[in-house]
Structure 1
Amino acid sequence: MKKILILLALFVTVSAFGQSQPVTVAGTDVLKSLKKSHPRLLLLKGEEQSLLSQIKKHKEWSGIHQEILKECDKIIDLPPVERIKTGRRLLGKSREALRRLFQLSYAYRTTGDAKYLNRAEKELLGISAFEDWNPSHFLDVAEMTMAVAIGYDWLYNNLSAETRKTIRQAIVTKGIEPSYNKDFNWFLTAEHNWNQVCNAGMTFGALAIAEDEPELAAKTISRAVETLPKSMITSYQPDGAYPEGFSYWDYGTSFNVLFVSAVEKALGTDFGLSQSPGFLKTAGFLENLVGPTGLAHNWGDSGLKDGLSPAMFWFAEKVKDPSLLWSQKKLLTTSSNSYVNNRLLPALLVWGVKTDLSAVKPPVKKVWVGQGPSPVGLMRTSWTDPNAIFVGVKTGSPSVNHAHMDEGSFVIDAQGERWAMDFGMQEYNSLESKGVDLWNRTQKSQRWEVFRLNNFAHNTLSFDGQLMNAKGFAKIDKWSEEPSQLAVMTDLSQMFEGQVASAKRGISIRDEKYVVIRDEIKTSDKPTIMRWNLLTPADVKIVDGKTVELSQNGKKMLLVFDTKAKIEIKTWPTTPTHDYDAANPNTQFVGFEAVIPANTEENFNAYFTNSTREITTKPLSEWKVK
């Protein structure tokens, strides 16, 4: 190993990791416990047999294993990935490269069949010959570096010296070295998924070539251990609620887990990172975010469907809580070759096969509350009944990365259907290609003109047709886990600063039968027109001045409004307002408008119920919440 020329000292504070002593890494000391032989990333040399032995214990594991092999047989006939960008991104190609190389390398290590080795080598050399890996959008470089690092490391002993040299040079010159260019490495100070993904990618590359480039590897790993907490502390404390929502949890957290798992295997330590506040609690966030319909509470820039998440298996094993896999187990038992589209799928077997799937029982708690930058309250009446009631409530701030103006918004599942929904994200390139200023989150940003992103498109309130306060913040103030009244409450006043004096919302599942949304509004010295909005995929029928009938798939739900104020029930189309907006078929808005006089207080109750019985609701101050 070369002598180090510059000593790099790294100090990780007690507050970052919750440890009694700070972690100190000096120079190449970070590599002192490096596993000398390859493979060293995630699955060490010789661990294949143990993995295969575990796979035989459950048909679900065997099913995933066989699907990977079948997919690799298909990949063999595909041409290598080409350097073709979509807009400003090469990310789709990087992700496909990671998918292919992770699965091909896994297939070779578990079967020894040279056809997988040869096809992976062809992919590795093709990628290594690219002019660059698109450092101007560094996520592309990060995922490509991880892809090449896994292939290089897992296949190392069966690649020629010349091939190894070519791949190693690509990792250095197209992967790691651009991360030291100030034009590209702003991710080091980011407090979101970019930090997690990019540091993970660079560290995989560094670990793969560490014996040949010890100074660069040590510097890169040390830098990651120093800067990754900037994202981890923001993203997970205090309860594990991930600020960027469902889809970005899977992205940022999965790569964070890949980082922790990789350094733990290769270096024998995770530098205390897994003890970062809230990190080991975050699997509960993802599990509770999915309703009985299998649809996620997809607030922010998020997708809707639940899918296999390898990281969940790491968490379940790490904290010894198999119940975290309740939803994942159901997905495993539904055989689907679509799982092979998950570029991290082999990691599920690496992390998960020690778990006894027969020990996976439903969670006990039916309410999960997380604070942080994007607080959420998640409630359900059952984990086992597909017709259970599920309510997800979102607070926080539009100023958070990938956030929408959706504070106070909610989704509702009941009778096996989603009645109150969220549009989720619009594909970025469809907006960027039209010149939309999508990443500016200030009050007057064009971002808030995008149809799906402002408060008018969410299940929340609006006053006088104005946008929410982009810098406002709301949290979950109180909640109840009492079975007869599962509830959360939030003060939305900051979101409507300058529009009303105060706005408070409480949402409750009562007696496991119906949902209550109560809004208490105080106006300032001017009157206001309030819009109460619901986005639904159901057919809407206005029955009378207080009742709406929702119907879908042969099922019905009543939306009943109760207030002393004069309201006008309305529907609004979800037709986009700009040519850059995505279409929103088979959806509509329903709700009401009410004129609230100056210096007054009005209360509004909305009930989601399948019964015509009369319901009453007390003021929020009398709700039994803590």
Structure 2
Amino acid sequence: MEPHPRLYVDSEAIERARREPSIPWLRDAARQVAADAQRGARLPDLQWTPHSHNGHLIRARRMQTRVVTLLVRWFQTGQERFRRAALQCVRQMRDWEYWSWIAWRSGDSAPDALFDLSYGENSATLALAYDWLHDTLSDEERALFLETARKWPFAAGMKHARPGATWWFGRTDSNWNTVCAGGLGMLALAMYEDADEARELLPLVEESVAPYFLFLDETDGAWPEGIGYWNYGMRYAFLYLLSHERATGRKHPLFRHKGVRKTLEFPLDFCPHGQSCSFGDVNHWNPLPFHYAAARRLGRTDIAAALDDRLEAQGVRSGTWPDTAEWLLLHPGRTAQAERKPARGPVARLYRGMDWGVLADRMPDSTFYAAVRGGTTNVPHSHRDLLSFHCVVGRELLVTDIKPAEYLDTTFSVRRDEIFGITPASKNTVLINGVGITAGSALDRTERVSLPGAVGFRLVATEALGAMRDGSAVEFCARLVLLLDGSQLLIIDRAVLPHAGRMETRLHTYADVKAGKRGAVLHGRKERLRVAYAADVPAMLTLSVPAPTTPTAPAGHALRWCTVASTHTDMTLATLLSPSAGRARLELETGQRGQIRLTVGEREIRLTPTLRRARS
């Protein structure tokens, strides 16, 4: 193993953190680190409450932030008080009665009761502190670290971090894999010569994380848990790989995979202009330092430049982890110089294997953008949101869906699918007889389509709508989403029912709404979006106020385009979104053979009953 510091932060990074930054947002980060470290050195032991959801995990993140911030400030100033405060944090971690909220709730205080996310994040905190302090530790201080590691993560890791011992080991599609194994792996690398357990655990860590990275080849780099959990799982995944390379002095073979390179693009594609357009839990994303470090390692100067642009626009936002301190360590101190490729469009990008799609007038720097949800709900953190979409006009998110504002005891329980913000009623999707996409379902098909002057996606949801009273809910149901000349979004929904019923499409917004009989105008801070509706059966537009589970969460508005009666078996509804001024003409009629004709302004679009392009 290489000398310490040997993990993802090297001596050059530490030296860089000591210099006065020249970039304004980095100077802000440096001031924040100084203030936080000053406060952290004066405060007593970390105060926290176990009664919030996963309170022990929140404590682990706060502790990691405090320890890393204190030690970065120690690097900068050499003042012993910051080092002493960091060591006191390690003593507090050693003496905690529980490391896990799950174990605390069950009353099992055995340190090896389980190995969950808190263990993974605490392991990473121990690893960084040990690595950075290694050459200055007294015998007593070194014994403190080894005692803590052996009491908690090594004991639990030896029991649970192996095939068949815990559900997350080797899991391809869950952040738990890399948070748990990645944090444990960093500790094993840091203590490799000093603990027999470290040498035994490291090959098991490699075995666990490999499927996680290889899965990215199947999804074009997309992540089924969405962009918020992409940040979480990938943070520990990439910090482990970067640490492994530095500690061993050898390039890691997982970096060679195409999906690993491609995944760096994924959150940027689903967060245009800082507007999060992901699906499932935690639709929220900010640039994190690991992303920048991974981009530099993989030679993706285009990604680094895009992250620099975001940071210049929004600054560093203090978040879940020690982001401000890590930016001082991992950012080179100068903006990335990448060849600025001209914006191209229109764009219809489908992440195969996951079937999430992006439509935009151009990328990068879109002025009209939509994200579309295909694929399956049978993945971690998913909602019943198949067919749903988001729409960004300029730099404003004007169409989105309703998501839970907090985690409750029901969130990860057998009753999860009853929470309003997870149900189809809270999404921009199709409802048949008052219900929509079923739990654990998948679309029959998601495909990219092209028509003259239009690109988009065709999504078939027949099986995903499940059963009704005496058989299938529908004989056929599909949605066609088309970007017209890069300037309008046309959505056509068709359903054929075995028995007479009702059809509805929903559109949610937090913008101000002025609604009419067959359309509405959404007014944002600067932008506006016109919504026009059409149908081949009598239909009506109603404006409703959703009822999110959290009473203090904003409710927004729901535009409901519904059939007037529940007496139809064959229905086609259309929605046109236009950011331009002026009324948008939208007409729809269905011929005797089921051929659908839409008129959008002066354009005519003909479709088959299965929402494919009709032959002239």
Global fold match (TM > 0.5): yes
Q: How does 1:188-587 map to 2 (within 5 A)?
A: 188-191=169-172, 192-213=174-195, 215-234=196-215, 237-269=218-250, 271-276=252-257, 278-292=259-273, 294-304=274-284, 306-334=285-313, 336=315, 338-339=317-318, 342-353=321-332, 356-359=335-338, 361=340, 364=343, 367=347, 369-371=349-351, 374-382=354-362, 388-428=367-407, 431-432=408-409, 436=410, 438-440=411-413, 445-474=414-443, 477-479=446-448, 484-497=453-466, 498-523=472-497, 525-544=498-517, 546-553=518-525, 555-576=527-548, 581-587=550-556
Q: Is the 8 A contact 1:235 1:243 kept in 2?
A: no
CA offsets 1:262-320 (integer angstroms, 9 cap, x no match) = 1111012354222345121011111111123x21013200133x422223212321332
Segment drifting more, 264-273 vs 145-154: 264-273
Aligned-partner Cα distance in 1 for 2:269–2:319: 25
Aligned-partner Cα distance in 1 for 2:235–2:445: 26
Q: Which residue identity does 2:396 align to in structure 1?
A: E
Aligned-partner Cα distance in 1 for 2:576–2:614: 16
Q: How does 1:91-130 map to 2 (within 5 A)?
A: 91-130=57-96
Segment drifting more, 60-69 vs 154-163: 60-69
Change (3 A) 1:161 1:360: farther
How far residue 408 of structure 1 moved from its aligned partner, in angstroms, is 0.7
Q: Which residue identity does 2:612 align to in structure 1?
A: S
TM superposition score normalised by structure 2: 0.84
Q: Which residue identity does 1:426 align to in structure 2?
A: A
Segment drifting more, 195-204 vs 150-159: 150-159
4+ residue runs over 4 A deviation: 50-53, 55-63, 334-337, 362-366, 382-386, 480-484, 580-584, 595-599
CA offsets 1:566-625 (integer angstroms, 9 cap, x no match) = 21212232124xxx655543412112112576664x33221012431431444242299x
The equivalent of 2:594 in structure 1 is: none
Aligned-partner Cα distance in 2 for 1:239–1:423: 27
Q: Which residue identity does 1:171 align to in structure 2?
A: A
Are 2:112 and 1:140 equivalent residues in the alignment?
no
How far residue 446 of structure 1 moved from its aligned partner, in angstroms, is 1.9
Segment drifting more, 610-619 vs 255-264: 610-619
Name stretches of at least 5 consecutive residues in structure 1 with no aligned partner: 1-33
The equivalent of 1:8 in structure 2 is: none
Change (3 A) 1:622 1:340: closer
Aligned-partner Cα distance in 2 for 1:219–1:148: 18
Q: Is the 8 A contact 2:115 2:157 kept in 1?
A: no
Q: Which residue identity does 1:343 align to in structure 2?
A: P
Name stretches of at least 5 consecutive residues in structure 2 with no aligned partner: 101-112, 467-471, 586-599
How far residue 402 of structure 1 moved from its aligned partner, in angstroms, is 0.4
Change (3 A) 1:302 1:88: closer
How far residue 199 of structure 1 moved from its aligned partner, in angstroms, is 0.4
How far residue 110 of structure 1 moved from its aligned partner, in angstroms, is 4.0
How far residue 128 of structure 1 moved from its aligned partner, in angstroms, is 2.1
CA offsets 1:379-407 (integer angstroms, 9 cap, x no match) = 22245768x11101112222210000000
The equivalent of 1:49 in structure 2 is: 15
RMSD: 3.0
How far residue 357 of structure 1 moved from its aligned partner, in angstroms, is 2.6
Q: Is the 8 A contact 1:389 1:413 kept in 2?
A: yes
Q: Which residue identity does 2:583 align to in structure 1?
A: T
1:585 aligned counterpart, secondary structure: coil
Kindly, what percent of the aligned residue pairs are identical?
Answer: 19
CA offsets 1:190-212 (integer angstroms, 9 cap, x no match) = 33100010001111211222111
The equivalent of 2:103 in structure 1 is: none
1:188 aligned counterpart, secondary structure: coil
CA offsets 1:79-103 (integer angstroms, 9 cap, x no match) = 2324742355400110011111122
Q: Is the 8 A contact 2:482 2:490 kept in 1?
A: yes
Segment drifting more, 352-361 vs 139-148: 352-361
CA offsets 1:491-538 (integer angstroms, 9 cap, x no match) = 222212421122221222222322111223233x31221110111112
Change (3 A) 1:599 1:87: closer
The equivalent of 2:595 in structure 1 is: none
Q: Which residue identity does 2:417 align to in structure 1?
A: W
How far residue 543 of structure 1 moved from its aligned partner, in angstroms, is 1.6
